[in-house]
Chains A and B, each alone.
Chain A
Amino acid sequence: MAEPEERHYNIDRLNMIFAVASIVLLFALIWMVTDDYSREWKDYQRKFRELEIEKTRVKYDYAFNELESKGDYKALEKQLEEERKTFTVGCPAGSADDEAKKFAAENDLLNQKYRFTKAEYDAARYRYETARARGGADNAHLAKAAEVLAGLERQLAGLKLAVEQSGQRLAQRQKAADDCGARLAELERRERGFQQKTKILQRKLDKIDPGAMNFTNRIAQMVRDLPIIDLANPNYKIEQIVLKDIPEDLNFSKVPTVDRCVTCHQGIADQDYKDASQPFRAHPNLELYLGNDSAHPIDEFGCTVCHGGRGRGTDFVSAAHTPASAQQAEEWEEKYGWEPLHHWEKPMLPKQYVEAGCFQCHAGQGTIKGAEKLNLGLSIIERSGCYTCHTINRYKNWPKPGPDLTKLSSKISKKWAYQWIQSPRTFRPDTWMPAFFDQSNTSDPESRKRNEQEIHAIVAYLFANNPEYPAASIPLEGAIQKGKEIVSSVGCMGCHRIEPRDPSEALTRDTLRREQGPNFSGLGSKTSKAWLYNWLKNPHSYNPRTKMPNLRLSDEEAAHVAAYLASLRDDVYGQTEVPAVDEAGIDGIVLDFLTKSETLDSAKKKVAAMSRDEKLSFAGEKLVRHYGCFACHAIAGFENEKPIGTELTEEGSRPVDRLDFGFVHIDHTRPAWFAQKLKDPRVFDQGKVKLHDEKLRMPNFEFNDEEIEAVTTALLGFVKDAPKAKIVPRTARDLDIERGQELARVFNCQGCHLIEKDGGAIQPAVGQWLVDYNNVSANEAAAVIPSFSPPNLIGEGKKVQAQWLFNFLHDPSTIRPWLKVRMPTYAFAADELNDLVKYFAALDNEESLFLEKFHGAITPEELDAGAKLFSKDYFDCAKCHIVGAQMPGGSPENWAPDFALARSRLKPQWIDEWLKNPQDLLPGTKMPTYFDPAGFEASGPEDILAGDEHKQIRALRNYLMSLTPQPHGQTPPAQ
């Protein structure tokens, strides 16, 4: 018996503790492995697999049933069955029966023997060679080696023969069987052809559907996903898209973007899942995104490049999902334990702002096709003139959006100006002039009082020292009705409305085009008839940089229009009295500005020395600078002033903590801040104690929710780290187009014309004119609107000569005399004209602006043929087309442009193409197709130029180019 061990502690108790601790450790380890193993995305992948199995099964069943219902297939199956029977009965069994097996076994054995003997032979040969090389000293050894070699060689030859014989015998047997079964093989091949679709689905099911697997595979399926073993090749694994050309900037190094979104969003690029529940649903627009043939294939763009978010995240929270609304946030919190990911600087764009992602790469483009909200946002920014106070690189050279105020006194009264500044929307509810005064941070009684005096000061400054605007007197009393007709027909409605837009009508880029200029309501209460007359006659004399073009109205027309516009009065407006100038109040304002640069004492002295007008003017100037009025309006004395707002070029990348949320309780995110700022620009002053001139001063544009969303989308798109590799290349052509689009937007070309299939905002107004003045029903009008509207400029670059376009834009002339609407004269600068010509050329991929000069020589034969084709007997061109002064018969809606202009206006190459197939160049044109594109060679008249269509077109084209305005009436040579 060993002595009891000497112990300090009670060993049983220690054992107990040890056991418990070990078990706890074991559980901790199990917990650790389970925690590490169980991932959200695995559950999603499991669910997706179920969905995939289900979908594949349905597809398989469908394909199978389809196959079964095919008569051909059924017949084939029957045939096959019979053929198989015949085959088993009547054919040698190939490699299947006992005899064949015996033969094959013999053959295998012989083969093996041959290979082994060959190996021995090779070794013996080596021994013989080395023995011989060592020299003849040991002759006996060499002789023995030679003998062995020779013996083996003989043996090998015999074996070779045996192998060949055996092989031949086998082959013969097989051939006999094949020949006999040739028909069966052919039938089986056809069967496979039929079953191709089902087989593919079957194979897929075998791979993913445990129900369709055999036992071993099912076990293997389970085992490969077990913890730790799953390092090799698991079913459920993180899927990722690596984008080497879009680096993620980690400040000290750059790493490729890695998007693991597809780990859960497994059906994202598969049309089959377009109705599946999230996260498996397919992208709603696979034609544009993610598809292999789309512009943004998934393997090249991934997800986060456009959507933002944390691509490496593999669970709902760590992917930085962003809810679209507070309600969704709540839902997510409940469902996924969602919380904002504070430390990720680029959270996903909320759904409503998703188009912001487009801008980073498409920033150069004027309009981004498909991103309507973003385009609208940009248009609103352009129309509101955000870029004048806030520098935005994209709008560096854009003109001031507001009217010139240097000659204000000739246009409006001080009282009107006061009331307008105080509340622009009272007079014109849809104006783009924002409200500066009586806003959320300046509407307490004290501020209101100060506001009144500030407005007085601004008005005083604006009206002081205005140069005389030489106003010609109106030659005749205009007729209101006539004026109204002119306004509705001549083209005013491309940029203006008579009544403001109905608030129920959504703002679109098209409606915005008709807000290029102000609406006409109440115009008579604003300004005088004489001013209107002079403005209409020549807008550039009042403001050389105005966007308002000259419509070349005759004196008479201008007088009518002026009379009509002046008759649109708003007599309720302006009834209210303007509060009087309060000198003490003005003193306070002047003092505030003076004390910024001098002491209170000297400021006070200065104020005391100033006259009332001096004070008003002084304060006015300071206030114009303070509020930045000069940013939108040309104001004398502020020609070189810098804009007053923060730069917005990279606003979408501004860190959230640089945004002052003040005491306003909203989400601390960029979109929330932008939206709130746009809704009430002064809101972040809420709860702050500030002096009057420290207060926020961004004016209120009174945007509605849709407008705010659109502008916020654009702002979120103004980011600094665009993926360089993906930016739409800025080639010379693209730059020409960009510049052209910019000009088209500045001057609102699309108010009248369709350019790039977009625009023509005037068309509804043309329809209205047809109904009001031409006794046409609304339905009839709808059908002929395009005939009475400004032309669609599709293919303009291809169609007209550059020189002609340049001249025309500079000084338009009539091409379509039946149109009431007329191309106005813009005071384009020479470079703008060049840019526009280049723009149209670039749109049509015309590489050089000027074509080879058309020599115009025409053979008598051609002239003769051309004239015949032109005549009534054949194409009867003059039925619709104007030729010089000769108008066609019939109603004007069928008229077509003047041939006399063809020589100087059209490109000969274009005429050829046009004659060949007009619908191809201008879909929907009224021009008849004389040469059938489907059967071109047989389409022209057979009796001219031996029926050669190419020659006919050439002759007709040359003939047209020979037409001139002179002599009148006898251009088509009589036949």
Chain B
Amino acid sequence: MEAVKEFINAVSRPQIMFPMILAVFFFVFSPTDRLLAINKRLGLYKLWTKRGGIVLFLCLFLAFAFGLMDMNFAKIVTKPDNVPIVGLIFLIFFFVWFSMKQAWENDARIAAGGRPREAEDSKEKILVWPDLVYIEFIALILCTVLLIVWSILLKAPLEEAANPTVSPNPSKAPWYFLGLQEMLVYFDPWIAGVLFPTVIMIGMMAIPYLDTNKKGCGYYTFKDRKMAISIFMFYWLVLWFFLITVGTFLRGPNWNFFGPFEAWDIHKLEVLTNINLSELVYMVWLKQRLPENILLREMGGFAVVFLYFGAMPLVLAKTLFKKVYAALGPFRYAIFTILLLMSISLPIKMILRWLFNIKYIIAIPEFFFNI
């Protein structure tokens, strides 16, 4: 038992968990044909069937049941602030499973020469009055019951009077901002707190203009929208939902990382040995002191950033994104790749941080400019 917990604690360290999730993710949500073939070969798509769903939820329930036997886990999970996030986990799993199931079913139907289920559904007639209104009313009553019972059973998580000189430890953002807060670990505030949120919003507004694929309109499908769904799911599940969950359950005092069965010890010390790219280049590889000149010092970093945002789109247009380029045209392609690269930079930096201890690509603390 203890050994299992130890193992889970060890595995859930970001250095291991994050690459693992990345590795698994693109097989489950395969953006390309080749990955899809592997998916099929491994039978991962079976997750999106009724039986797969039952197994998935059974695992989830068992995991919680097992966890709740542990005092530390139970304490964190049953905290009134965190209960909604537990609900969120189940809801997200359910809806992802449900939509993916329908998508795969539709794909199977289309492959067999049929039409998607939604085409048939639309033939059915549901009367607004009384049927729809009636079931909506019943749903409303049940939701009210849920909210009442919840408010009776769980106390509002109030804390001491706010004091500007004493910040709580850990100080956590509201749950919906925990993803942003997690980004602060990897980026400077001006990027994680200003630039990225802005780009996220602009990017979402741009989606209809970038994604002109008409397939999948009005029905669920995976096969025809592999790339779009995978990219979306990656943002949605990994960069948003996963980070919120981590921020809620696994980030403890001093924003340190704690395994699900670890006690939140305020005195826990973590090794902080991150270095900047310039230090890696000059000190580790070239065995030199850092140059005095800032530009010289950060030359490598600038080169990387330039290559990443300047050259990468061109290279991709010729190789991996040939089709995309053809479909979008140069202007939309440019916007698409820049947005994509920007968002990919988060997992890249996470990996650099967790696996290679690299803190900043460009580090100019003199001007508060770090990337």
Once the chains bind, are A250 and B138 in contact (CB under 8 Å)?
no
How far apart are B164's CB and chain A's nearest CB, in angstroms?
A: 6
How far apart are B145's CB and chain A's nearest CB, in angstroms?
A: 5
Beta-carbon contacts under 8 Å, B137-188 to A: 137-138, 141-142, 144-145, 148-149, 151-152, 158-166, 169
A-chain residues with CB within 8 Å of residue B63 when the two chains form the complex: none
Who on chain B is nearest to A22 by CB? B141
Checking A14, A22, A655 against B134 with a beta-carbon cut-off of 8 angstroms, the contacting residue is A14
Looking at the complex, which of B17-25, B41-49, B124-132 is the stretch in contact with chain A?
Answer: B124-132
- A8-B127, A28-B149 are contacts. A251–B266 as well, Cβ < 8 Å? no
Checking B125, B127, B135, B266 against A657 with a beta-carbon cut-off of 8 angstroms, the contacting residue is B266
Q: Does A24 contact B (CB under 8 A)?
A: yes
B-chain residues with CB within 8 Å of residue A35 when the two chains form the complex: 152
Once the chains bind, are A343 and B158 in contact (CB under 8 Å)?
yes
CA gap between A344 and B152 in the complex, in Å: 22
CA gap between A7 and B164 in the complex, in Å: 61
Once the chains bind, are B138 and A21 in contact (CB under 8 Å)?
yes
Once the chains bind, are A21 and B145 in contact (CB under 8 Å)?
yes
Once the chains bind, are B141 and A21 in contact (CB under 8 Å)?
yes
Once the chains bind, are A18 and B137 in contact (CB under 8 Å)?
yes
Interface flags for A10-33 (1: CB within 8 Å of B; 0: not) read 010010011001101100110110
Once the chains bind, are A657 and B152 in contact (CB under 8 Å)?
no
Q: Would you mind naming 8 contact pairs between A and B with Cβ atoms under 8 Å apart? A: A6-B127, A9-B135, A14-B134, A17-B138, A18-B134, A28-B144, A250-B161, A343-B159
CA gap between A14 and B136 in the complex, in Å: 11
B-chain residues with CB within 8 Å of residue A22 when the two chains form the complex: 141
CA gap between A18 and B145 in the complex, in Å: 13
CA gap between A234 and B164 in the complex, in Å: 41
Q: Does A773 contact B (CB under 8 A)?
A: no
Once the chains bind, are A8 and B125 in contact (CB under 8 Å)?
yes
Who on chain A is nearest to B169 by CB? A657
Who on chain B is nearest to A34 by CB? B152
Once the chains bind, are B141 and A14 in contact (CB under 8 Å)?
no
Excluding A32-B151, A252-B164, 9 further A-B contacts by CB distance (< 8 Å) are A7-B130, A18-B141, A25-B141, A25-B144, A28-B148, A31-B148, A343-B160, A344-B160, A657-B169
Checking B135, B145, B165 against A25 with a beta-carbon cut-off of 8 angstroms, the contacting residue is B145
B-chain residues with CB within 8 Å of residue A250 when the two chains form the complex: 161-162
How far apart are A36's CB and chain B's nearest CB, in angstroms?
A: 9
B-chain residues with CB within 8 Å of residue A345 when the two chains form the complex: 160
Checking A7, A28, A251 against B162 with a beta-carbon cut-off of 8 angstroms, the contacting residue is A251
A-chain residues with CB within 8 Å of residue B130 when the two chains form the complex: 7, 11
Once the chains bind, are B162 and A31 in contact (CB under 8 Å)?
no
Once the chains bind, are B159 and A14 in contact (CB under 8 Å)?
no
Beta-carbon contacts under 8 Å, A19-64 to B: 21-22, 24-25, 28-29, 31-32, 35
Once the chains bind, are A31 and B160 in contact (CB under 8 Å)?
no
A-chain residues with CB within 8 Å of residue B134 when the two chains form the complex: 9, 14, 18
- A251-B161, A252-B162 are contacts. A9–B145 as well, Cβ < 8 Å? no
CA gap between A219 and B151 in the complex, in Å: 33
How far apart are A460's CB and chain B's nearest CB, in angstroms?
A: 39
Q: Which 5 A-B pairs have the closest CB atoms?
A: A343-B160, A21-B141, A250-B161, A28-B148, A343-B159
A-chain residues with CB within 8 Å of residue B135 when the two chains form the complex: 9, 14
Who on chain A is nearest to B160 by CB? A343
How far apart are B62's CB and chain A's nearest CB, in angstroms?
A: 29
Who on chain B is nearest to A251 by CB? B163
A-chain residues with CB within 8 Å of residue B126 when the two chains form the complex: 8
CA gap between A251 and B142 in the complex, in Å: 42
- A29-B148, A31-B148, A32-B148 are contacts. A14–B127 as well, Cβ < 8 Å? no
- A14-B134, A14-B138, A22-B141 are contacts. A7–B127 as well, Cβ < 8 Å? yes
B-chain residues with CB within 8 Å of residue A28 when the two chains form the complex: 144-145, 148-149
Interface flags for A227-262 (1: CB within 8 Å of B; 0: not) read 000000000000000000000011110000000000
Who on chain B is nearest to A346 by CB? B160
- Most chain B beta-carbon contacts within 10 A, residue among A14, A25, A28: A28
Once the chains bind, are A24 and B127 in contact (CB under 8 Å)?
no
B-chain residues with CB within 8 Å of residue A9 when the two chains form the complex: 131, 134-135
- Most chain A beta-carbon contacts within 10 A, residue among B126, B137, B161, B164: B161
> How many residues on the A side are at the interface (Cβ–Cβ under 8 A)?
26
How far apart are A418's CB and chain B's nearest CB, in angstroms?
A: 38
Once the chains bind, are A7 and B149 in contact (CB under 8 Å)?
no
Once the chains bind, are B131 and A8 in contact (CB under 8 Å)?
yes
How far apart are B325's CB and chain A's nearest CB, in angstroms?
A: 48
Who on chain A is nearest to B155 by CB? A318
CA gap between A22 and B141 in the complex, in Å: 7
Once the chains bind, are A32 and B141 in contact (CB under 8 Å)?
no
B-chain residues with CB within 8 Å of residue A249 when the two chains form the complex: 161
B-chain residues with CB within 8 Å of residue A25 when the two chains form the complex: 141, 144-145, 148
Once the chains bind, are B152 and A31 in contact (CB under 8 Å)?
yes
Interface flags for B267-304 (1: CB within 8 Å of A; 0: not) read 00000000000000000000000000000000000000
CA gap between A227 and B135 in the complex, in Å: 33
A-chain residues with CB within 8 Å of residue B266 when the two chains form the complex: 657
How far apart are B125's CB and chain A's nearest CB, in angstroms?
A: 7
A-chain residues with CB within 8 Å of residue B158 when the two chains form the complex: 343
CA gap between A29 and B149 in the complex, in Å: 9
CA gap between A28 and B152 in the complex, in Å: 9
Who on chain B is nearest to A32 by CB? B148
B-chain residues with CB within 8 Å of residue A18 when the two chains form the complex: 134, 137-138, 141
B-chain residues with CB within 8 Å of residue A344 when the two chains form the complex: 160
Who on chain B is nearest to A29 by CB? B148
CA gap between A344 and B158 in the complex, in Å: 10
CA gap between A250 and B165 in the complex, in Å: 12
CA gap between A9 and B124 in the complex, in Å: 12
CA gap between A344 and B161 in the complex, in Å: 9
CA gap between A14 and B126 in the complex, in Å: 14
B-chain residues with CB within 8 Å of residue A343 when the two chains form the complex: 158-160
CA gap between A7 and B161 in the complex, in Å: 56
Beta-carbon contacts under 8 Å, A313-357 to B: 343-345
CA gap between A17 and B124 in the complex, in Å: 23
CA gap between A25 and B165 in the complex, in Å: 45
Once the chains bind, are A32 and B160 in contact (CB under 8 Å)?
no
CA gap between A908 and B165 in the complex, in Å: 61
Who on chain A is nearest to B126 by CB? A8
Who on chain B is nearest to A657 by CB? B266
CA gap between A655 and B127 in the complex, in Å: 63
Once the chains bind, are A251 and B152 in contact (CB under 8 Å)?
no
A-chain residues with CB within 8 Å of residue B163 when the two chains form the complex: 251
Who on chain A is nearest to B151 by CB? A32
CA gap between A252 and B163 in the complex, in Å: 8
CA gap between A22 and B266 in the complex, in Å: 48
How far apart are B274's CB and chain A's nearest CB, in angstroms?
A: 25
Who on chain B is nearest to A345 by CB? B160
How far apart are B352's CB and chain A's nearest CB, in angstroms?
A: 33
Once the chains bind, are A31 and B149 in contact (CB under 8 Å)?
yes
CA gap between A655 and B161 in the complex, in Å: 14
CA gap between A21 and B138 in the complex, in Å: 7
CA gap between A655 and B163 in the complex, in Å: 12
CA gap between A6 and B152 in the complex, in Å: 41
How far apart are A393's CB and chain B's nearest CB, in angstroms?
A: 21
CA gap between A345 and B165 in the complex, in Å: 14
How far apart are B88's CB and chain A's nearest CB, in angstroms?
A: 23
Once the chains bind, are B142 and A21 in contact (CB under 8 Å)?
yes
CA gap between A17 and B127 in the complex, in Å: 18
CA gap between A81 and B318 in the complex, in Å: 123
How far apart are B200's CB and chain A's nearest CB, in angstroms?
A: 33
CA gap between A69 and B149 in the complex, in Å: 62
Who on chain A is nearest to B146 by CB? A28
A-chain residues with CB within 8 Å of residue B160 when the two chains form the complex: 343-345
Once the chains bind, are B152 and A655 in contact (CB under 8 Å)?
no
Interface flags for A255-289 (1: CB within 8 Å of B; 0: not) read 00000000000000000000000000000000000
How far apart are A35's CB and chain B's nearest CB, in angstroms?
A: 5
A-chain residues with CB within 8 Å of residue B161 when the two chains form the complex: 249-251
CA gap between A24 and B146 in the complex, in Å: 10
CA gap between A251 and B164 in the complex, in Å: 7
CA gap between A607 and B166 in the complex, in Å: 47
